[in-house]
Structure 1
Amino acid sequence: MAIWDFAKNAGKSIFGKAEAATPSQPAATPEQPAAADDSARKVEALKNELRALDLDSSDVHLTLRGDTVKVESRGADRETMEKLVLAVGNIDGIAKVEAEMPEDADKKDPVFHTVQKGETLSAIAAKYLGSANKYPAIFEANRPMLSDPDKIYPGQTLRIPQDG
Structure 2
Amino acid sequence: MSLLEFVKDAGAKVLDAVANPADAGRQIRSHIEKEIGVSDVDVQWIEGTVKVSGNAKTQADKERLILAAGNIQGVKAVDDAITVAAPGAASRMYTVKAGDTLGKIAKEHYGDASKYPQIFEANKPQLKDPDKIYPGQVLRIP
Give TM-score, length-normalised by structure 1: 0.79
Cα 1:17–1:75, aligned 2, differ >3 Å: closer, same or farther?
closer
Matching residue of 2:116: 135
Matching residue of 1:112: 93
Structure showing greater radius of gyration is 1
CA RMSD of aligned residues (A): 1.7
Unpaired segments of 5 or more residues in structure 2?
none
Q: How does 1:7-86 map to 2 (within 5 A)?
A: 7-16=7-16, 38-57=20-39, 59-86=40-67
Cα 1:39–1:116, aligned 2, differ >3 Å: closer, same or farther?
same
2:69 pairs, out of 75, 84, 88, with: 88
Matching residue of 1:123: 104
Matching residue of 1:2: 2
Alpha-carbon offset, residue 74 of structure 1 = 2.4
Identity %, equivalent residues: 39
Unpaired segments of 5 or more residues in structure 1?
19-34
- List structure 1 segments (4+ residues) > 4 angstroms apart after TM superposition: none
Check the 8 A contact 1:3/1:96 in 2, yes or no: yes
Q: Greater strand percent: which structure?
A: 2
Cα deviation, 1:68-122, whole Å, max 9, x if unaligned, reads 1111122432111100110010000000001146373x51x33110000010000
Helix, strand or coil: the match of 1:63?
Answer: strand
Q: Take 2:91 and 2:4, find their aligned partners in 1: how far apart are those partners?
A: 10
Alpha-carbon offset, residue 54 of structure 1 = 3.6
Check the 8 A contact 1:70/1:97 in 2, yes or no: yes
Matching residue of 1:22: none
Alpha-carbon offset, residue 47 of structure 1 = 1.5
Q: Take 1:74 and 1:80, find their aligned partners in 2: how far apart are those partners?
A: 9
Q: Take 2:114 and 2:16, find their aligned partners in 1: how far apart are those partners?
A: 38
Alpha-carbon offset, residue 55 of structure 1 = 2.8
